[in-house]
Amino acid sequence: MSDNGERFTGHGEEWRDARLSAQDARTATSWVEAKIDKRALLTNKDRVEDVRDAMWQLEKDGEIIVHRVGDQHEPVMAKTLYGWDKKIPTNQLWHHKSCGQCGNIPGYPASLLWLMNQTETRYLDETDQTSCTAWNYHGSGIGNIVSLAAVFLRNFHQAYVSAQAEGLDPGYYYPLVHCGTSFGNYKEVRHFLMHSAELREQVRKILAKLDRLIDGKLLIPEEIVHYSEWLHVMRGRIADKQQIDASNIRVTIHPACHVYKMVPEDVIYDDDVLDGNRVAVSTGIMQEMGTQVIDYSTWYDCCGFGFRHIISEREFTRSFAIDRKIKVAVEEARADVMVGHDTGCITTLDKNQWIGKAVGKDYALPVLADCQVAALLCGAHPYKIVQMHWHASPFEDLLEKLGIDWQRAKAEFEGYLEEVAQGKIETLYEPRRAITSGEGYRP
């Protein structure tokens, strides 16, 4: 307001103040918030196409071969943003690992594999896989659409042929992508590949050099599937294995930008999960396992990871993470835990809380991946399997609230470390399966 009492509103001369009381303004705002269909914010587009139509046409034209989600993969149908079907394979899965998860929060993939063991899901975790390289690309700009596409199809080709190392047919395993950025990036790249003959030709030449073509053609996956989608369609079967009651736990979900904002038309929405207004993954399994999922006003915000920022502009990353996500989850939603489904988000939201103490922002909110919470509730060991010790924010209160004796579990793990030092290592699968070619491979 200026000195003469004039208000500058930015709405032009015709604008008139409604002069609502504070109470009426709050009521009006609440009405609008209740009426907004949050899904509509993503669907107000003119140009939306199902890229799979172009994919089938290219296969018909003899340009590509599609790696199908077949009956052997025991698919479950899910509905995406526009109500399209997406086939989610539930068995015979090839783990496309995440560099950030494996390097930094290894209980994330370990919990997923443990859940697969519990549900008798066959899988392959092997050494013939690269990072998707998209973190590097989005952070630095080094890389390009050709390199990203070639990496995508190289890794997915390996997923296709990997079973031959075990004497099985190609296509036996279907790739399951762990990282949200890999998932978003691969889908974005698939779109460009389906629409550019020039890009396909450039990539074909590179993959020919690597002997990564099938009958001289590019191999394109029918679906690009994120692990959280597997978890979502398996939520009933996983909940059947639940051992720990979680009805007293207040959960806030942090959905990952590269999972649901990048290529949004391919993301699962389920009418039974928040009326289909929010992406269904993670929320669905948390509800299925009986936790209280609490909405909060900055649900839509990113975590602050920023790709480049987490390395070299950390003041942005930690300020955004604390002020826009963690603080809101604690003060507004009174959350016991924040649950996510992506590498960068879990890392950012978990690791950047400690420094908040320096400015009196000591929120201490545990941050875990959905599969870690699911594994804990199904009785996985908090340290040996869920590997909680790599998480920076305090999680001990959460475990106590769940009735888990973390001190005993920690002591057990410390005892196990002594066995590890003597070479007595427990693994989720037979280690020699991890090597499918080259040095160390045994047919």
Partner 1 sequence: MTSSPQSGQRAVGKLADPIGADAPLDREALEEIFDDIRTHPRYDSELNGCLNCGICTATCPSAHYYDYSPREIVQLLWTENVEGIYDAMQEKIWACAQCYTCAARCPFGNSPGGLVMVMREVAIKHGMESAKEVLRPFSRVMLKVMTTGNQLAPNMITPEHFPDWGPNISKVEAPLNILRKAIPMPTLHTQETAWAVNLKTSIELYTIWEESGVLDQLETMDENLFDVIVDIMDEKREDYADWLEEQDDDDDDD
Q: Give min distance, CB of 289 to partner 1, in A.
A: 22
- Which residues in 176-235 contact partner 1 (CB under 8 A)? 184, 191-192, 195-196, 198-199, 202, 205-206, 209-210, 212
- Is 384 a binding residue for partner 1 by CB under 8 A? The answer is yes
**Contacting partner 1 within 400-419 (CB under 8 A):** 410, 413-414, 416-417
Any bridge partners for residue 221, and if so which? Answer: 67
Between the alpha carbon of residue 110 and those of residues 102, 115, 254, 388, the distances in Å are 9, 9, 21, 11
Closer residue to partner 1 (CB): 3 or 211? 211
| Residue number, 25 or 197, with CB nearest to partner 1 | 197
Q: Which is nearer to partner 1, 70 or 143 (CB)?
A: 143
Q: Closer to partner 1 at the Cβ: 75 or 344?
A: 344
Measured CA to CA in angstroms, residue 386 lies from 121, 163, 383 at distances of 19, 28, 5
Q: Which of 143, 170, 290, 379 binds partner 1 (CB under 8 A)?
A: 143
Paired sense of beta strands 292-293 and 337-340, if any: unpaired
Task: Pick out residues in 269-308 that bind partner 1 (CB under 8 A).
Answer: 300-302, 304-308
Check: CB of residue 176 under 8 Å from CB of residue 93.
yes
Geometric angle at alpha carbon 102, from 386 and 363, rounded to 5°: 60
State the Cα–Cα distance between residues 234 and 371, nearest whole angstrom. Answer: 11
- Sign of the alpha-carbon torsion through 238, 241, 244, 245: positive
| Choice from 312, 397, 400, 405 touching partner 1 (CB under 8 A) | 312
Q: How many residues bind partner 1 (CB under 8 A)?
A: 114
Contact (Cβ atoms closer than 8 angstroms) between residue 89 and residue 225: yes
> Interaction with partner 1 in 45-64: which residues (CB under 8 A)?
45-48
Give the burial class of 271: count Cβ atoms within 10 A of its Cβ; 0-12 exposed, 13-18 middle, 19 or more buried. exposed
For residues 233 and 281, which CB has a smaller minimum distance to partner 1 in the complex?
A: 281
| Residues 130, 298 contacting (CB under 8 angstroms) | no
Q: Considering the complex, what minimum distance in angstroms separates the CB of residue 201 from partner 1?
A: 12
> CB under 8 A: which stretch of 72-80, 94-102, 165-173, 363-371 binds partner 1?
94-102
Contacts to partner 1 from residues 349-378, by CB under 8 A: 351-352, 354-355
Restricting to residues 314-343, name those near partner 1 by CB under 8 A.
314, 316, 318-320, 324
Q: Does 421 bind partner 1 (CB under 8 A)?
A: yes
Distances, alpha carbon 188 to alpha carbons 150, 194, 262, in Å: 13, 10, 7
Q: Is residue 279 helix, strand or coil? A: coil
Q: Are strands 292-293 and 250-254 parallel, antiparallel or unpaired?
A: parallel
Among 140, 248, 297, 407, binds partner 1 (CB under 8 A): 140
Q: Which of residues 29-48 bind partner 1 (CB under 8 A)?
A: 41-42, 44-48
| Binding positions for partner 1, 102-121, rule CB under 8 A | 102-104, 106-107, 109-110, 113-114
Q: Helix or strand or coil: residue 85?
A: strand
- Stretch of 28-36, 147-155, 232-240, 334-342 contacting partner 1, by CB under 8 A: 147-155
Q: Which helix (H) or strand (E) holds 65?
A: strand 64-67
Is residue 379 within the footprint of partner 1 (CB under 8 A)?
no
Q: Which of 80, 121, 131, 287 binds partner 1 (CB under 8 A)?
A: 131
